[in-house]
Amino acid sequence: MSSTDGPDLAEAPEERCFLSTAEAAALERELLEDYRFGRQQLVEWCGHASAVAVTKVFPLPALPRKQRTALVVCGPEQNGAVGLACARHLRVFEYEPTIFYPTRSPDPLHRDLTTQCEKMDIPFLSYLPTEVQLINNAYRLVVDAVLGPGVEPAEVGGPCTRALATLKLLSIPLVSLDIPSGTPGWDPETGGDAEDGLRPDVLVSLAAPKRCAGRFSGRHHFVAGRFVPDDVRRKFALRLPGYTGTDCVAAL
Protein backbone atom coordinates (compact mmCIF):
# COMPACT_ATOMS: atom_id res chain seq x y z
CA MET A 1 0.00 0.00 0.00
CA SER A 2 1.14 3.51 -0.69
CA SER A 3 2.28 6.05 1.88
CA THR A 4 3.05 8.92 -0.52
CA ASP A 5 0.53 11.63 -1.41
CA GLY A 6 -0.07 12.16 -5.10
CA PRO A 7 -1.98 14.61 -7.28
CA ASP A 8 -5.68 14.28 -8.03
CA LEU A 9 -6.39 12.78 -11.41
CA ALA A 10 -8.11 15.42 -13.51
CA GLU A 11 -8.77 13.22 -16.52
CA ALA A 12 -9.28 9.49 -16.87
CA PRO A 13 -6.17 7.96 -18.50
CA GLU A 14 -6.34 5.21 -21.06
CA GLU A 15 -6.81 1.73 -19.64
CA ARG A 16 -3.74 0.08 -18.15
CA CYS A 17 -2.75 -2.54 -15.60
CA PHE A 18 -0.19 -0.58 -13.57
CA LEU A 19 -0.25 2.53 -11.37
CA SER A 20 2.47 5.07 -10.72
CA THR A 21 3.37 5.83 -7.11
CA ALA A 22 1.36 9.07 -7.30
CA GLU A 23 -1.66 7.28 -8.80
CA ALA A 24 -1.51 4.57 -6.14
CA ALA A 25 -1.49 7.24 -3.44
CA ALA A 26 -4.42 9.02 -5.10
CA LEU A 27 -6.39 5.76 -5.25
CA GLU A 28 -5.75 5.12 -1.57
CA ARG A 29 -6.75 8.67 -0.72
CA GLU A 30 -10.01 8.15 -2.61
CA LEU A 31 -10.77 5.06 -0.52
CA LEU A 32 -9.94 6.81 2.75
CA GLU A 33 -11.50 10.23 2.14
CA ASP A 34 -14.34 9.70 -0.33
CA TYR A 35 -15.46 6.19 0.59
CA ARG A 36 -14.57 6.66 4.27
CA PHE A 37 -12.82 3.33 4.61
CA GLY A 38 -10.52 3.24 7.63
CA ARG A 39 -6.79 2.62 7.37
CA GLN A 40 -7.20 -0.43 9.61
CA GLN A 41 -9.82 -1.81 7.19
CA LEU A 42 -7.46 -1.49 4.23
CA VAL A 43 -4.56 -3.04 6.13
CA GLU A 44 -6.77 -5.91 7.28
CA TRP A 45 -8.11 -6.60 3.79
CA CYS A 46 -4.61 -6.52 2.30
CA GLY A 47 -3.16 -8.69 5.06
CA HIS A 48 -5.90 -11.27 4.68
CA ALA A 49 -5.55 -11.34 0.89
CA SER A 50 -1.76 -11.64 1.15
CA ALA A 51 -2.16 -14.69 3.39
CA VAL A 52 -4.66 -16.18 0.94
CA ALA A 53 -2.12 -15.70 -1.87
CA VAL A 54 0.42 -17.66 0.21
CA THR A 55 -2.09 -20.49 0.63
CA LYS A 56 -2.62 -20.68 -3.13
CA VAL A 57 1.09 -21.08 -3.89
CA PHE A 58 1.94 -23.17 -0.82
CA PRO A 59 -1.28 -25.08 -0.03
CA LEU A 60 -1.24 -26.58 3.42
CA PRO A 61 -2.24 -30.14 2.35
CA ALA A 62 0.83 -30.28 0.10
CA LEU A 63 3.24 -29.28 2.87
CA PRO A 64 4.79 -31.73 5.33
CA ARG A 65 4.14 -30.77 8.93
CA LYS A 66 7.66 -29.43 9.37
CA GLN A 67 7.35 -27.20 6.31
CA ARG A 68 4.41 -25.06 7.44
CA THR A 69 6.76 -22.39 8.75
CA ALA A 70 6.92 -18.85 7.36
CA LEU A 71 9.15 -15.95 8.35
CA VAL A 72 7.38 -12.58 7.99
CA VAL A 73 9.78 -9.61 7.93
CA CYS A 74 8.01 -6.33 8.72
CA GLY A 75 9.08 -2.71 8.45
CA PRO A 76 7.72 0.22 10.48
CA GLU A 77 5.58 1.71 7.68
CA GLN A 78 2.22 0.66 6.27
CA ASN A 79 3.55 -2.41 4.45
CA GLY A 80 4.82 -3.66 7.80
CA ALA A 81 1.31 -3.36 9.22
CA VAL A 82 0.03 -5.44 6.30
CA GLY A 83 2.74 -7.99 7.09
CA LEU A 84 1.62 -8.24 10.71
CA ALA A 85 -1.98 -8.79 9.62
CA CYS A 86 -0.78 -11.36 7.07
CA ALA A 87 1.10 -13.27 9.78
CA ARG A 88 -2.00 -13.38 11.97
CA HIS A 89 -4.12 -14.73 9.14
CA LEU A 90 -1.47 -17.34 8.32
CA ARG A 91 -1.75 -18.53 11.90
CA VAL A 92 -5.54 -18.72 11.55
CA PHE A 93 -5.00 -20.79 8.39
CA GLU A 94 -2.85 -23.19 10.50
CA TYR A 95 0.54 -22.17 9.16
CA GLU A 96 3.36 -21.50 11.62
CA PRO A 97 4.50 -17.90 11.12
CA THR A 98 7.37 -16.19 12.90
CA ILE A 99 7.79 -12.41 12.74
CA PHE A 100 10.95 -10.34 12.52
CA TYR A 101 10.01 -6.72 13.24
CA PRO A 102 13.28 -4.96 14.09
CA THR A 103 12.15 -1.31 13.99
CA ARG A 104 8.82 -1.11 15.76
CA SER A 105 6.48 1.73 14.93
CA PRO A 106 4.81 3.76 17.72
CA ASP A 107 1.71 4.01 15.52
CA PRO A 108 -1.38 2.69 17.39
CA LEU A 109 -2.36 0.46 14.47
CA HIS A 110 1.06 -1.23 14.49
CA ARG A 111 0.87 -1.63 18.27
CA ASP A 112 -2.60 -3.21 18.06
CA LEU A 113 -1.54 -5.63 15.33
CA THR A 114 1.59 -6.54 17.30
CA THR A 115 -0.51 -7.25 20.38
CA GLN A 116 -2.87 -9.45 18.37
CA CYS A 117 0.06 -11.50 17.04
CA GLU A 118 1.57 -11.84 20.51
CA LYS A 119 -1.79 -12.91 21.99
CA MET A 120 -2.01 -15.59 19.29
CA ASP A 121 1.41 -16.90 20.35
CA ILE A 122 3.15 -15.96 17.11
CA PRO A 123 6.86 -15.77 17.99
CA PHE A 124 8.89 -12.62 17.34
CA LEU A 125 12.60 -12.96 16.60
CA SER A 126 14.89 -10.66 18.57
CA TYR A 127 17.45 -10.79 15.76
CA LEU A 128 17.79 -12.20 12.26
CA PRO A 129 20.61 -14.73 11.88
CA THR A 130 23.31 -13.58 9.48
CA GLU A 131 23.98 -17.22 8.61
CA VAL A 132 21.50 -17.59 5.79
CA GLN A 133 21.50 -21.39 5.89
CA LEU A 134 19.93 -21.27 9.36
CA ILE A 135 16.99 -19.36 7.86
CA ASN A 136 16.82 -21.64 4.83
CA ASN A 137 16.61 -24.66 7.11
CA ALA A 138 14.10 -23.20 9.57
CA TYR A 139 11.44 -21.80 7.21
CA ARG A 140 9.53 -22.90 4.12
CA LEU A 141 9.14 -19.33 2.84
CA VAL A 142 9.74 -15.67 3.71
CA VAL A 143 7.25 -12.82 3.41
CA ASP A 144 8.83 -9.46 2.60
CA ALA A 145 6.71 -6.68 4.15
CA VAL A 146 9.51 -4.18 4.73
CA LEU A 147 9.19 -1.37 2.18
CA GLY A 148 6.21 -0.06 0.26
CA PRO A 149 5.92 2.46 -2.59
CA GLY A 150 7.38 5.81 -1.67
CA VAL A 151 9.41 4.45 1.26
CA GLU A 152 13.20 4.60 0.93
CA PRO A 153 15.50 2.14 2.75
CA ALA A 154 17.07 5.02 4.68
CA GLU A 155 13.68 5.87 6.18
CA VAL A 156 13.25 2.52 7.94
CA GLY A 157 16.63 2.36 9.65
CA GLY A 158 19.70 0.17 9.73
CA PRO A 159 18.12 -3.03 11.14
CA CYS A 160 15.66 -3.24 8.25
CA THR A 161 18.37 -2.45 5.72
CA ARG A 162 20.55 -5.23 7.13
CA ALA A 163 17.59 -7.62 7.08
CA LEU A 164 17.04 -6.90 3.40
CA ALA A 165 20.68 -7.64 2.67
CA THR A 166 20.21 -11.04 4.33
CA LEU A 167 16.96 -11.75 2.45
CA LYS A 168 18.75 -11.25 -0.87
CA LEU A 169 20.96 -14.26 -0.06
CA LEU A 170 18.22 -16.75 0.82
CA SER A 171 17.43 -19.76 -1.35
CA ILE A 172 13.91 -20.41 -0.01
CA PRO A 173 10.88 -18.86 -1.76
CA LEU A 174 10.27 -15.15 -1.16
CA VAL A 175 6.82 -13.50 -1.20
CA SER A 176 6.89 -9.70 -1.56
CA LEU A 177 3.91 -7.55 -0.62
CA ASP A 178 3.07 -4.71 -3.05
CA ILE A 179 6.62 -4.14 -4.33
CA PRO A 180 9.84 -6.06 -3.74
CA SER A 181 11.89 -4.36 -1.05
CA GLY A 182 15.60 -3.99 -1.66
CA THR A 183 18.83 -2.09 -1.21
CA PRO A 184 18.73 -0.32 -3.65
CA GLY A 185 15.95 -2.64 -4.80
CA TRP A 186 13.15 -1.94 -7.19
CA ASP A 187 12.35 1.57 -8.27
CA PRO A 188 8.57 1.77 -7.70
CA GLU A 189 8.09 3.60 -11.01
CA THR A 190 10.22 1.53 -13.37
CA GLY A 191 11.54 -1.49 -11.49
CA GLY A 192 15.05 -0.22 -12.21
CA ASP A 193 17.99 -1.89 -10.48
CA ALA A 194 15.85 -4.96 -9.82
CA GLU A 195 18.89 -7.15 -10.38
CA ASP A 196 20.48 -5.59 -7.29
CA GLY A 197 17.45 -5.95 -5.03
CA LEU A 198 15.19 -8.76 -3.92
CA ARG A 199 13.96 -11.21 -6.53
CA PRO A 200 10.70 -12.60 -5.15
CA ASP A 201 9.13 -15.81 -6.39
CA VAL A 202 5.68 -14.40 -5.56
CA LEU A 203 4.44 -10.81 -5.77
CA VAL A 204 1.15 -9.72 -4.18
CA SER A 205 0.16 -6.32 -5.54
CA LEU A 206 -2.06 -4.48 -3.07
CA ALA A 207 -5.15 -2.74 -4.50
CA ALA A 208 -3.52 -2.61 -7.97
CA PRO A 209 -0.09 -3.41 -9.44
CA LYS A 210 2.53 -0.66 -9.40
CA ARG A 211 4.57 0.15 -12.49
CA CYS A 212 7.62 -1.76 -11.29
CA ALA A 213 5.51 -4.95 -11.30
CA GLY A 214 5.71 -4.87 -15.07
CA ARG A 215 9.27 -6.16 -14.73
CA PHE A 216 8.43 -8.89 -12.24
CA SER A 217 9.79 -12.21 -13.51
CA GLY A 218 8.87 -14.53 -10.64
CA ARG A 219 6.53 -17.51 -10.76
CA HIS A 220 3.31 -16.07 -9.35
CA HIS A 221 1.82 -12.56 -9.42
CA PHE A 222 -1.45 -11.83 -7.62
CA VAL A 223 -3.48 -8.66 -7.24
CA ALA A 224 -5.28 -8.19 -3.92
CA GLY A 225 -7.82 -5.52 -4.75
CA ARG A 226 -11.29 -6.99 -4.71
CA PHE A 227 -12.22 -4.38 -2.10
CA VAL A 228 -11.64 -1.55 -4.62
CA PRO A 229 -15.10 -0.33 -5.73
CA ASP A 230 -15.95 -0.53 -9.43
CA ASP A 231 -16.30 3.26 -9.68
CA VAL A 232 -12.74 3.69 -8.43
CA ARG A 233 -11.44 1.08 -10.87
CA ARG A 234 -13.12 2.95 -13.71
CA LYS A 235 -11.82 6.32 -12.56
CA PHE A 236 -8.26 5.00 -12.58
CA ALA A 237 -8.94 3.04 -15.80
CA LEU A 238 -7.68 -0.22 -14.31
CA ARG A 239 -7.89 -3.22 -16.60
CA LEU A 240 -7.33 -6.22 -14.35
CA PRO A 241 -8.46 -9.86 -14.39
CA GLY A 242 -11.73 -10.73 -12.71
CA TYR A 243 -11.98 -12.46 -9.34
CA THR A 244 -13.32 -15.98 -9.27
CA GLY A 245 -16.18 -16.84 -6.95
CA THR A 246 -15.44 -15.42 -3.52
CA ASP A 247 -11.67 -15.14 -4.06
CA CYS A 248 -10.02 -11.99 -2.72
CA VAL A 249 -6.96 -12.35 -4.98
CA ALA A 250 -6.62 -12.82 -8.72
CA ALA A 251 -3.67 -14.23 -10.62
CA LEU A 252 -2.02 -11.99 -13.20
Q: What is the pLDDT of residue 49?
A: 98
Task: Over range 131-149, report the average pLDDT.
Answer: 93
Nearest CA-CA partner of 177 in 59, 90, 67: 90
Domain ranges of the chain: 40-251
Give bridge partners of residue 97 from the DSSP assignment. 70
Q: What is the pLDDT of residue 64?
A: 86
pLDDT tier, 206 (very low <50, low <70, confident <90, very high otherwise): very high
How far are the Cα atoms of 64, 95, 173, 199, 202 from residue 67, in angstroms, in the given order? 5, 9, 12, 22, 18
Q: Are 135 and 72 in contact (CB under 8 A)?
A: no
Q: What is the mean pLDDT of the chain?
A: 88
The Cα angle at residue 225 between residues 59 and 250, in degrees rounded to 5:
40
The share of the chain scoring above pLDDT 70, in percent, equals 85
Q: What number does CATH give the domain 40-251?
A: 3.40.50.10260
Q: What is the pLDDT of residue 150?
A: 67
Of the listed ranges 9-23, 51-65, 96-110, the least confidently predicted one is 9-23
Residue 164 confidence (pLDDT) above 80: yes
Q: What is the pLDDT of residue 181?
A: 86
Bigger pLDDT: 9 vs 2: 2
Per-residue pLDDT tens digits for 107-128: 999 999 999 999 999 999 999 9
Q: What is the pLDDT of residue 240?
A: 84
Q: What is the pLDDT of residue 88?
A: 98
Question: Alpha helices, DSSP H only, in the chain?
Answer: 21-29, 39-57, 78-92, 108-119, 132-138, 153-156, 158-167, 230-235
Bigger pLDDT: 13 vs 30: 30
CA distance 208 to 202: 15
CA distance 252 to 137: 30
CA distance 49 to 27: 18
Nearest CA-CA partner of 85 in 112, 108, 57: 112
